[in-house]
């Protein structure tokens, strides 16, 4: 199995409240001056490895949609005034 994590909002930009943070492992969270940030790719990687996916089979673009406005839309960054993106999940035979 090969897993590819595409562009998404990341721990540098994704501010969450305590009710969201409580649903994720501490390793996917960081606190900066009382503000909590969630790194979704870290949380996904942890779940995938726990489910048996080899860490070496997980590939990540490292791109943050909120940090790169010239490349990506971001609902949070643009306060809901954005275009659309889509993702694909496929089984290869």
Structure pTM? 0.77
What is the domain extent for residue 59? 1-83
**Is 90 contained in some domain?**
no
d(CA 87, CA 64): 15
pLDDT in tens, 25-42: 999 999 999 999 999 999
Cα distance from N-terminal residue to C-terminal residue, the chain: 11
pLDDT in tens, 37-56: 999 999 999 999 999 999 99
**Is 14 contained in some domain?**
yes
Q: Given this model, what pLDDT does residue 38 score?
A: 97
**Is 35 contained in some domain?**
yes
**Is 75 contained in some domain?**
yes
d(CA 55, CA 50): 10
Q: Given this model, what pLDDT does residue 75 score?
A: 65
**Is 89 contained in some domain?**
no
Mean pLDDT of the chain: 87
Q: What percent of the chain has pLDDT over 70?
A: 82
Domain count, the chain: 1
**Is 88 contained in some domain?**
no
Q: Given this model, what pLDDT does residue 6 score?
A: 86
């Amino acid at each position: 199995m090969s897993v590819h994590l595409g562009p998404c909002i990341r721990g540098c930009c994704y501010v969450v409240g305590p009710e969201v943070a409580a649903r994720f492992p501490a390793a996917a969270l960081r606190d900066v001056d009382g503000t909590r940030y969630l790194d979704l790719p870290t949380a996904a990687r942890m779940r995938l490895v726990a489910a048996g996916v080899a860490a070496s089979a997980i590939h990540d673009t490292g791109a943050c949609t909120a940090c790169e406005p010239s490349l990506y839309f971001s609902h949070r960054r643009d306060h809901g005034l954005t275009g659309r993106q889509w993702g694909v999940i496929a089984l290869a035979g």
